[in-house]
Structure 1
Amino acid sequence: MATENGKDEEVGVVKIISKTKVLPHKTVEKSECPLVTFDLPYVTFYYNQKVLLYRGGDFEEIVGKLKEGLGVVLEYFYPLSGRMGKDEEGVLKVEKCGEEDAGVEVVEAIAEGVFIDELTQDEAPPLLQKIVPFTGVMNLDGLYSPLLVVQFTKLRDGIAIGCAFNHAILDGNSTWHFMSSWAEICRGSEAPSLIPFHDRTQARNIRLKLDLPESTASHDDSAVATLQSLREKIFHFSENSMDKIKAKANASLTNGSRPLSTFQSLGTHLWHAITRARTHLKPEDYTVFTIFANCRKRVNPPMPESYFGNLIQAIFTVTATGLLLAHPPEFGAGLLQQAIGAHDAKVIEARSKEWESAPKLFNYKDAGINTVTVGSSPKFPVYDVDFGWGRPEMVRSGSNNKFDGMVYLYPGRNGGRSVDVEITLEPKTMENLENDKEFLMVSD
């Protein structure tokens, strides 16, 4: 089948053979939902891109099953089938959910000569961006583009499922809730085991009209060009390595100190290593560790984990480079522990009110100077996304929303306490990191 213009479309070694639209199979009762304070700042982020790689199977049969399951799961996750729009007062919302002129775009493609192993290399191959859609597309474009685009690419020995989610509609927690539910449907379930909670006004019910940029380029025309000069690579930390990192961070705690969590221990391990690798930094230069924290259980009243939307806030921890590197890991981990623990309902409320009083749309420079910024989570069940023919060989992100110091955490494929760390850095910094035995947990 050809694309909408009737011709196959070549993209490098990837040939796009069709573009179709999938709507919820049943009529959606609610055709719109509001975008609230927790969603709106991300209008000028880019579509979140995820890629899942699977071995084997008949491509046509698999795609048919995936599209059928997608139509069912959209009955429950209906905002993904809509478009962004504005009400009569110019306030952003999701509208047209399940309507004929909206829907999820599904792209089918073929990369006949490409094997899965070429895409599972630790260093992100350039081809990766050919199998995930909407590279360089800002969430603002959801005013006239699909809020979810899925690309199924036939590989020599399997299939790649590339997804682009509008980040103004959902966060990582909701992304993997959707993916897990879609897989459940494809395995034969009649409905998701965890039904999404859609009433965003329960988390925040403030109407805000934003001063939107005229276009993506007018807000940020440098992100894609900047990314082309960076390197992206996955580092694997086994259960044993994770245990050692945590034990080291907790080894010298003073009496009465709270034990440091696995995340805090890994966080300071990454913060130290990336800061060391940035050899151009002076001791007095500030460095920032940023976390996008799930606030579902932090707000008052707490929201269910099934809350569908964005319910995250950035937590910033700042210190001087020299101070961080002069201290053992419990210093940095303690700073993270303090910042994370202090981010309670009162702080979230104050931050929300502050933003509402002067709404500001995010840009790349807002991540902080000399930053290490962590997204995703090892708790997300990314390797449990089994559509009926086995677990994915690898899960990784596309290039959107990446900059020098961006880190995505995923559970290791082998399970347990293993963690995969996907890092984007300047080439020289990455080279230094690759040779850092302390970071890699390599003994002489």
Structure 2
Amino acid sequence: MNSSPSVKIVSKCFVKPKTILEESKKPYYLSPWDFAMLSVHYIQKGLLFQKPLHSTDTLLDKLRESLAIALVHFYPLAGRLSAQINENTKSYSVFVDCSNSPGAGFIYATSEAVNHDGRTMSLLTVQVTELVDGIFIGLSINHAMGDGTSFWNFFSAWSEIFQAQESNKTDELYLKNPPVLKRYIPQGYGPLFSLPYSHPDEFIRTYESPILKERIFCFSSETIRLLKAKINQVCGTTSISSFQSLTAVIWRCITRARRLPIERETSCRLAADNRGRMYPPLPRDYFGNCLSALRTAAKAGVLLENDLGWAALKVHQAVADHTSEKVTIMIDQWLKSPFIYHIDRLFEPMSVMMGSSPRFDKYGCEFGMGKALTLRSGYAHKFDGKVSAYPGREGGGSIDLEVCLVPQFMEALESDEEFMSLVYF
């Protein structure tokens, strides 16, 4: 989804919600979780489909029409970020203006941008690329507007509307999982939060990834099942999940591939959805950011000297310890001292970061072209040690891992017998 000399922009336009709701005429306020995302890249993900029998022009018309309907349900994505600055008090506030915006972008290529660029860029951009024998549909969503759960909820809703449109049922459409747009605002605060800055240059930092090699490794449902059973048996428990088991494998194998000194600390982080961990919990379809990056760590020598079960227990404990009390403490800390995430400071060198989730129904997004052939992500959020988890196309609990490493580490990982014995081709 990053721009390339080989990508030709065929057309550009903006798409507004088909119906302008009364609530969309008011400012749309962001939560503390959202503010923290202002300096990270847009989420860029997309699906590759078999080329349809009908013309691409017909597909594009249907995509634009269904997008206009989807934006009625997700109207903040058609807006723009608006800033209020008070230089005297060093106060910088941001909200979404849905009234003074041309709408969501609908183009053939996307830009690499950070989330604060949503003041001048669309908060949502659709990229449709026609290939020789396929169609790639990609979305780029401002991360201040939502996390991975929100991203795929929108993608799924758009697909649902497109499918209903094919059956001429859009007039009676009720989404299976309508978004809950009311943002989380801690009691006694807001609705408009302020950052202790007087200019965006004080908190916006651009990030350029190093030269990376990227590869997708596939793990069958049977491999995942056996791995989970083996680890739980070794640990004398039944509570370690499939994803925690696979995370332990990738943490150890990447650490071995890096050939770190035995005393060097290496960390492993997992993106955790806080919706169900809040008290009271937020709705499952809450639209916005509600994430934490859980962390566990060990010295490289200790991690590799111990067996896989030891690492899996470390990962499992990090997840088990992430309670509603921990989430509340994190929110309170932000309210007392607001901060902005910066990729180069958030993750330590020689760490592993497990992002996205195999739980998202990514292959359930169909646009009249059947099940997608594969899933790909864009340039955003790529760094050495970044791993994104996707459901395998075969379903049934299979998992695909998109791994980003500097070339020499990737070469070593591809030669790791323990790791490659689990991968299927």
Match of 1:46 in 2: 41
Q: What pairs up with 1:272-291 in 2 under 5 angstroms?
A: 272-279=252-259, 281-291=260-270
Alpha-carbon contact 1:23-1:100 (below 8 Å) kept = no
- SS of the aligned residue for 2:329 comes to helix
Are positions 1:241 and 2:223 aligned together? yes
User: Post-superposition shift, 1:392?
Assistant: 1.0
Report the Cα offset of residue 95 of structure 1: 2.7
Contact 1:50–1:164, Cα closer than 8 Å, also in 2: yes
Contact in 2 for aligned 1:82/1:94 (Cα 8 Å): no
TM-score normalized by the length of structure 2: 0.90
Q: Does 1:347 align with 2:323?
A: no
Q: List gaps (5 residues or longer) in structure 2.
A: 165-169
State the distance in 1 between where 2:403 and 2:198 align.
30
Question: Are the aligned partners of 1:433 and 1:439 in contact in 2 as well (CA < 8 Å)?
Answer: yes
**Aligned in 2, Cα 1:79/1:205: closer, same or farther, shift over 3 Å?**
farther
AA matched with 1:134: S
Gaps of 5+ in 1: 1-9, 109-130
Change (3 A) 1:200 1:45: same
Residue of structure 2 equivalent to 1:176: 152
| SS of equivalent residue, structure 2 residue 216 | strand
2:30 is matched by which residue type in structure 1? L
Percent identity over the alignment is 34
What is the TM-score with the length of structure 1 in the denominator?
0.86
The reply on whether 1:262 has 2:242 as its aligned counterpart is yes
Whether contact under 8 Å (2:228, 2:245) holds in the other structure is yes
- The more displaced of 21-30 and 238-247 is 238-247
2:337 paired residue among 358, 368, 389: 358
**1:82–1:96 contact (8 Å) kept in structure 2:** yes
What does 1:96-135 align with in structure 2 at a 5 Å threshold?
96-97=97-98, 99=99, 101-108=101-108, 133-135=110-112
Instruction: State the superposition RMSD in angstroms.
Output: 2.1
Task: Output one character per residue of 1:230-268: Cα deviation in whole Å (capped at 9) or x when no partner.
Answer: 1111001111221232123223124xx453111110110
Q: Deviations over 1:387-427 (max 9, x none)?
A: 22211111121110111111100000111111000011111
SS state at 1:349 partner = helix
Give the paired residue count: 403
The structural deviation recorded for 1:198 is: 1.2
Alpha-carbon offset, residue 175 of structure 1: 0.6
Paired position in structure 1 for 2:28:
33
Deviation of the 1:152 alpha carbon: 1.0
**1:365 Cα deviation from its structure 2 partner:** 2.6
Describe the shift of the 1:147–1:244 C-alpha distance in structure 2 as closer, same or farther (beyond 3 A): same
The letter of the residue matching 1:195 is P
Residues 442, 400 of structure 1: CA spacing in aligned structure 2 closer, same or farther, 3 A cutoff?
Answer: closer
Tell me if 1:56 matches 2:51.
yes
Residue 351 of structure 1: CA displacement? 1.1
SS of equivalent to 1:151: strand
Question: Match for 2:220: what amino acid?
Answer: S
Would the aligned equivalents of 1:141 and 1:216 in 2 still touch at CA under 8 Å?
no
Alpha-carbon spacing, 1:95–1:220, altered in 2? closer, same or farther (3 Å): closer
* Aligned-partner Cα distance in 1 for 2:195–2:59: 42
Give the Cα–Cα distance (whole angstroms) in 2 for the partners of residues 411 and 204 of structure 1. Answer: 37
